[in-house]
Structures are given as structure tokens and as C-alpha cells.
Amino acid sequence: DAGVIQSPRHEVTEMGQEVTLRCKPISGHDYLFWYRQTMMRGLELLIYFNNNVPIDDSGMPEDRFSAKMPNASFSTLKIQPSEPRDSAVYFCASRYQGAHMTEAFFGQGTRLTVV
């Protein structure tokens, strides 16, 4: 398996534009997580899905952020409209059902810059 695949790797957009980040989890994994990483705050959980269903979105900063998982192999994180303070690296991670000891595997991240 190629691991968790995220696209694009880098995104530069103007304030006010819509941004869509994409994630393909590892096949067979049924938990998918979206994280945001900044220098100041480190890694923060935004939302996670179990079997394509959003379970906890309490980390989503505000209504400008939305996430979907239409099937087991694809998820999107959308920001509309984007703002400069959204600039960060966004990570997607997945793991499989079972013991909580199972490792979450991370993608390489999408570096978002909003100017």
C-alpha cells in the first residue's frame, strides 16, 4: 500500500478563495482524521470519521471549514472562504478498527498558504 495520500502537496491561494484538500486513506482503515499543524499550536485535531461518518468535529475552527467522506477511500477538507490565518500544514491520517493501540498513519501533508 502506498500509505495515506494527500493532494495537493502545496497550495497557495488568495484570501476569499475556496480551498479543497484531498485525502486517500490506507485501504482497510476505517478511521480517518484531519489535523492542522502550526508552529505555535502544533498538531490539532479538526475532525475524524469512522466508517465514513463524522464522529467528532469539535476541532473545526468555524463554519468556513467543512469535511466530507463520501466513501471509504476518499475524504475532502474544504475552506470557504479562506483567510490568511488558515495558513498551516494540514495532515490526514488513518487507522483501522480495533484496539486503541493501533497506530495512526499520516500522509505527507498539504502546506496551505493564504495570501
Rounded distance between C-alpha atoms, residue 4 and residue 60, angstroms: 21
Work out the widest C-alpha separation in the chain, in whole angstroms.
42
Binding characters for other proteins, 33-72, by CB under 8 A (x = yes): --------xxxxx--x-x----xx----------------
> Of the ranges 22-30, 69-77, 80-88, 93-101, which one interacts with other proteins (CB under 8 A)?
93-101
The one-letter code for the residue type at 87 is S
> Of the ranges 19-27, 61-69, 72-80, 97-105, which one interacts with other proteins (CB under 8 A)?
97-105
Q: Does 26 help bind other proteins (rule: CB under 8 A)?
A: no
Q: Where are the beta strands (DSSP E) in the chain?
A: 5-7, 10-13, 19-24, 31-38, 42-50, 53-56, 65-71, 74-79, 88-95, 105-106, 110-114
**Minimum separation from the CB atom of position 81 to other proteins (A):** 27
**Minimum separation from the CB atom of position 114 to other proteins (A):** 19
